[in-house]
Each structure stands twice: as C-alpha cells, then as structure tokens.
Structure 1
Amino acid sequence: MKKENITYYQNPKVEILFGYFGGQPILTKQDQYKPLHAYEVDENGNESKLKNLYEKKDDKASIQDIKKIIAEYATEAFKERGIIKKPAQVEVLLSFSIKENRFGKVDIDNLSKTVLDGLTGVAFEDDVQVTSLIVNKHIHPMKVDAIFIGVTELTDKQKGFGSEIKLFGPEKFE
C-alpha cells in the first residue's frame, strides 16, 4: 500500500500560525458549572422545579491551565517575532475542533475568550488591540480536540481577512 504525503501551506495573510492537535479541550466558564436540580415548595405543598441554577464543579483541569497552555504555545510561536505592541491592531483567527459530545454545549464566544486571555501579554499586549476576530468550531472527522490560532498585525500592506468582509457598501454586490 502506497503512503501519500500531504503538504500544508500557511496562508500568506496569516503572520503567525500555531496550535495543537489532539490535546486538551479548550475549557470555558461554562465548563466550570453543572446544572443544579432544585425544587421550590409553595404554601400548598406543590413542588416546582427551579431553572437556571448551577453549582461549581470540582474539576481538576481549570481554565487557568488552558490559558497557560495557550500562552506557552504563543510564547514559542512569537519567540522570533516578539509581542505585537500597542497601538498596533491585530487580527486573530481561531479554528476549534470539538468532540461531538461537547459541540452543542459550548459557546463559540466563550471558547474565544479563553484563548484571547491566553494570548494577552504574549502575542499582543492587550486584547483591546484585536480589531478582527474570525472564529469557527467544528467536529473533526478524527473526533479529537484541537485548536489552530492565526495572529496577524494589521498594517497598510497586510489588511488580513477581516478587511474583505463587507455586509453593506456603496456598490452593488455580485
């Protein structure tokens, strides 16, 4: 049986690209809590289930651990380039591979927040510099957790992907 090699190329619009494949899932504040099953009894003795109550889980893996892992990968990726200093603007691309059992349970904005917090102080000084954030989550065919992160300093020459996104404009769209 002949093995086939696949070559991957980094998109030239992405300045720094890094991540991990098959590692820990990106945890969010949602992962710290589990639903609490509680009931209320009225004056007549009738029970009704209370909604939207949560208790903190006793998980060993924490969001801080994930942020630390992201920061370690970013430190390595930015070793030569160095941190993007203010007032520079930054575009961040995030691609999350999520296992199927978690896919419908975790919000994409919470995933993004965890990663941006891990990048702050390592890839860029402050996440206020992020002016373009492009994110997707998907279930990988191999059923693994993974994250790929692209970071680009936006300049007059390098406008990133976000500059091409137009929801309206003076001209008609084809």
Structure 2
Amino acid sequence: LLNKEYKMKCNACWRELEGQAITTTCGHVLCTEDAKKILSNDGACPICDQVLSKSHMKPTDINPSDEWTNMSMTGVSPQILMKSAYRSVMFYIGQKDLEMQYKMNRIVGQCRQKCEVMQAKFTEKLEEVHAAYQKMAKRCQLMEQEIENLTRDKQELQEKFAEKSSQAEEEA
C-alpha cells in the first residue's frame, strides 16, 4: 500500500485523474468533464444523488508539488495536521470502498450476463431434448400400434390355421 502510489479515480467514469479534479461536499471526486455534465444536467451527484451546485463543487489539485505541500503545512499545529491526516485517510478509505463497489457491480453484471447466456443455451438444449423425446414417444406409439396390428394379424392367422386344421381333420 505505501510502496504503490494510489491514483485517484473519477467516481463517475472511473478514469484515473491527472492534475485538476473536482471534489464535492458529499465526499466524491469527479473529473472536470463529469462535473460539467452534472452542472449542465440535473445537478445530482452520480454516486449518492445529492443535489449539487457550483458552490458544492471545488477544484482541487490531485498531485500537489512537495513545495506546495510543505508550504501549506508550515506553522500548522500537530493536532491540525493529525486531524487533516485522519480526514485524508478516511477519504482514501471511502474512495477505495467506492472503487470496490464499482468493480463488484461490474463483475456482478458480467456474471449476470454470462448466466443469461448460459440460461439461453440451457433452454435451447432443453427444447432440443424435449423435441427429440416427443419424436421418440411418437415413434414408440407407432411401434406399439404396429405390434397391436401384428398381434391381431397373428391371432387371426392362428384362428384361420386352427379352422383349416380342424377342417382337414374332419375331411381325413
């Protein structure tokens, strides 16, 4: 975590932010393009739906220089520095949480899509099997009718044979 530099990402489009970004009073970070879209449309935060106006959105430097950081902290009491550090860490945690939610939602969406494709394939195969089963059931029904016909024909032939046999015995 400390060795790898964390790149801030826009909470709306999830692109990495470079240079300037816009922070909101609801605790979200937006790229300048998404901030402009929000202000030109309904003015609602894309993450939490809080109504935003220009006064609720402040430009911020994503990667301030060491000189700026040092100058801004000069003469600040350790209590204020710790309070600021705490807020920064909590903001970072919030950003990571939002990013994880975004990634999970994307993965869930992909899984749903794959499940729908698999369900469609399963339904298609099930319909094929059902059609084959109905075809086989029809063939079995036809074969049973054929067996009944052959059994009846056999019985008629046996009766005729028995009749002929008894006629032949009477004549003999």
Relative to the length of structure 1, the TM-score reads 0.17
Give 1 or 2 for the bigger CA radius of gyration.
2
- The higher-RCO structure (CA 8 Å, 6+ apart) is 1
Higher share in strand: 1
**Whose helix proportion is higher, 1 or 2?**
2
